[in-house]
Each structure stands twice: as C-alpha cells, then as structure tokens.
Amino acid sequence: MPDSTLVGLHHEEQHHPELLHHFAEPQQQRDAASLGMWVFLATEVMFFGGLFCAYLIYRRWYFGDFGAASKTLNATLGATNTAVLICSSLTVVLAVWAAKTARRTLLLVSLGITLLLGLAFLGIKGVEYKDKFVEHHVPGASFSFDKVPLPGHPGQYANPRHAQIFFSLYFIMTGLHALHMIIGLGLFLWLLIMAWKGRFTPEYNTPVEIGGLYWHFVDIIWIYLFPLLYLIDRHP
C-alpha cells in the first residue's frame, strides 16, 4: 500500500503496515471498509432494482407471453447454476473463516474452489446463451418465436413481440449479473494472489471479508433471477 509510506510526523507510534495513514487504528479502517462495501451493495440493489421493476411491469402486462418464453429456458442448467453459486457462497464463508483463523491452506483452497465454481457458472451460462442463439431467441433482427403455445390457452400462441421483451430483459439481467461475476472473479483472483503471498493475517483480512460480501451479493441477485426468469410457469 503506497500510501502508508507517506505517513508523516503526525504519528508517533509504530503501526501495522497495512494501516493507511488517515485512519487512527486498524478497527476504524476495518469498519470503514466494511461499511463502504455495504453502502456500495445498497447502490447495487438499486441498480438491479430498476430492471426488476421493468420486469414486473411487463410480466403483469404480458403474463402469458412471459410464461411461454420462460418455459423455453433450460431450467436444469439454471438449477445447476443455482447450486454452483450456493456452493461457492459456502467456500467464500470458509475462506473468510480461514483468513481470520490463519489457516493458510484452507484459505488458498477455498479461494481456488470459489474461482473454479465461478468459472463453472459462467461456462454453463455460456452454454445457455449459445442455445438461445441457435434457437433464434436472441432479440434483434433474427429473433423468431413462432407458434409457441401460450400456457393455459390451448390452441393459442404467444406474441413474439412480447416474448422478445422477455428475452431482452433476460439477456440484460443475466448479462449484467454475469458482468458482476466476472468482476468478482477478478477480485478473487487478486485475493488468491495476496493470500499466496501471505498478506492476510487474523489482524488484517478485511479484503477477504468485503470481497466475500460482494460475492454473496452477486449470489443473492441470482437467487432472485432464477425463479423470475426460469420458474414462473413451471408446474409439477
């Protein structure tokens, strides 16, 4: 942390090398970082909130068409991805605990598994996107949604224009979620390198903690996306 070299005359006492110059004590720095992440997540909630709002309005307007479009998504892959993310949340919790209790091997392994699970999620998502592309369900000039039955209305077909709105929202929401996953992967790669260098100690592990907060948040967004996009019209 280059800033710590700037520490001037105002500090008499020796302090932890990771303590930035403008904080009085490590606890204050930890609290600030953690509050900062929580506040940032609040803005993220609003970011996705606008999309959820648009989704809810159009779902109400085009109830059946959204159901029909939702049914064409691959719920098995979606469910697999949900499981993958929930497992990754577990490994993140383990990583935070390992960092706080100085278990270096567990920390490295947990971070590594988290990374792999994150990559697996993106891989599965990529397969789904490819399927949608092949089926011409990507909105745009080549979009086609002909003769897809409307759930609960035998003999009737979904309106392709309204299905296109569903898929637009599907791609924007899952796309922005995937972007957050990619950012999360970068974050965790950095954490892995730092952990490898032995930078995290029971006294200093805030990056792992707030990185974990971010990861959990991205998981939670998916927990909402999955039922809204995949499950709205599945019946046993």
Partner 1 sequence: MLNNFPLWPEQASTMAGHVDALYIFLLIVTGMMTLLIFTCLIFFAARFRHRPGVRAEQIEGSIPLEITWSVIPFIVFMVIFVWGAAVYFKERTPPSGAAEVYVVAKQWMWKLEHAEGQREINELHVPVGRDVKMIMTSQDVIHSFFVPAFRMKQDVLPGRYTVAWFRATKPGVYHLFCAEYCGTQHSGMVGSVVVMQPAQYEAWMNGGSTGPLSATGEKLFAELGCSTCHRADAQGRGPNLQGVFGKPVQLEDGRTVTADENYVRECILDPGGKRVKGFQPIMPTFQGLVSEEQLNALVAYIKSISADNSGAVGKTIKATAGTAAPSVQIQSSTQPKAQTNAQPNGSQVQ
Partner 2 sequence: MSMPTTIPQPVERENYLNKEYGVWSWLLTTDHKRIALLYLVSITFFFFVGGFFALLMRLELLTPAGDLVQADTYNKLFTMHGMIMVFFFLIPSIPAVLGNFLVPLMVGARDLAFPRINLLSWYLYIIGGVMMMHCMLTGGVDTGWTFYAPFSTNFTNTKIVEAGLAIFVAGFSSILTGLNFVVTIHRMRAPGMTWSRLPLFIWAHYATSIIQLLGTPVIAVTIVLVAAERALHLGIFDPKLGGDPVLFQHLFWFYSHPAVYIMILPAMGVVTEIIACFSRKRIFGYSFVAFSSIAIAVFGFLVWAHHMFVAGISIYSALVFSFLSYAVAVPSAIKVFNWTATLYKGSIHYDAPMLYAFGFLGLFTMGGLTGLFLAALGINVHVTDTYFIVAHFHYIMVGGAVMGYLGGMHFWWPKISGRLYPEGWARLAALIVFIGFNLTFFPQFLLGYMGMPRRYYDYSHMPEFQVLNVLSTAGATVLGVGYLLPMVYFLWSMRYGKPASDNPWNAAGLEWKTASPPPTFNFDEEPVVTWEAYNYEELDAPHKREVPVAR
Give me the half-sphere count of Cα atoms (radius 13 Å) on the Cβ side of residue 5: 2
Residue 167's Cβ-count burial label (10 Å; 0-12, 13-18, 19+) is buried
Coil, helix or strand at residue 150: coil
Which of partner 2, partner 1, none does residue 24 bind to, with CB < 5 to 8 Å depending on kind?
partner 2
- Quote the least distance from Cβ 170 to partner 1, whole Å: 21
Which residue in the set 150, 185, 187, 232 belongs to the binding site for partner 1 (CB under 8 A)? 150
Residue 40 found at the interface with partner 2 (CB under 8 A): yes
Residue 51 found at the interface with partner 2 (CB under 8 A): yes
Q: Which of 129, 110, 81 is nearest to 188 (CA)?
A: 110
Which residue in the set 3, 25, 135, 203 belongs to the binding site for partner 2 (CB under 8 A)? 3
- DSSP-derived secondary structure for 78-106: HHHHHHHHHHHHHHHHHHHHHHHTT-HHH
Give me the half-sphere count of Cα atoms (radius 13 Å) on the Cβ side of residue 104: 9
- For residues 9 and 48, give the distance between their C-alpha atoms in angstroms, rounded to a whole number: 46
Q: Which of 220, 227, 178, 226 is nearest to 92 (CA)?
A: 220
Which residue in the set 34, 72, 74, 159 belongs to the binding site for partner 1 (CB under 8 A)? 159
Looking at the Cβ atoms of 107 and 210, the one nearer to partner 2 is 210
Which secondary structure element, helix H or strand E, spans residue 27, and what is its range?
helix 26-61
Alpha carbon 59 to chain centroid, angstroms: 23
Looking at the Cβ atoms of 140 and 155, the one nearer to partner 1 is 155
Residue 31 found at the interface with partner 2 (CB under 8 A): yes
The four Cα atoms 183, 186, 188, 189 give a dihedral, to 10 degrees, of: 170
- Quote the least distance from Cβ 163 to partner 2, whole Å: 9
Are 82 and 219 within 8 A, CB to CB?
Answer: no
Stretch that binds partner 1, among 17-25, 129-137, 156-164, 226-234 (CB under 8 A): 156-164
Residue 153 found at the interface with partner 1 (CB under 8 A): yes
Residue 154 found at the interface with partner 2 (CB under 8 A): no
Looking at the Cβ atoms of 62 and 188, the one nearer to partner 1 is 62
Number of chain positions touching partner 2 (CB under 8 A): 41
Interface contacts to partner 2, rule CB under 8 A: 3, 8, 10, 20-24, 28, 31-32, 35-36, 39-40, 42-44, 46-51, 53-54, 57-58, 61-62, 139-140, 159, 161-162, 164-165, 168-169, 172, 176
The residues that touch partner 1, with contacts defined as CB under 8 A, are 62-64, 150, 153, 155-157, 159
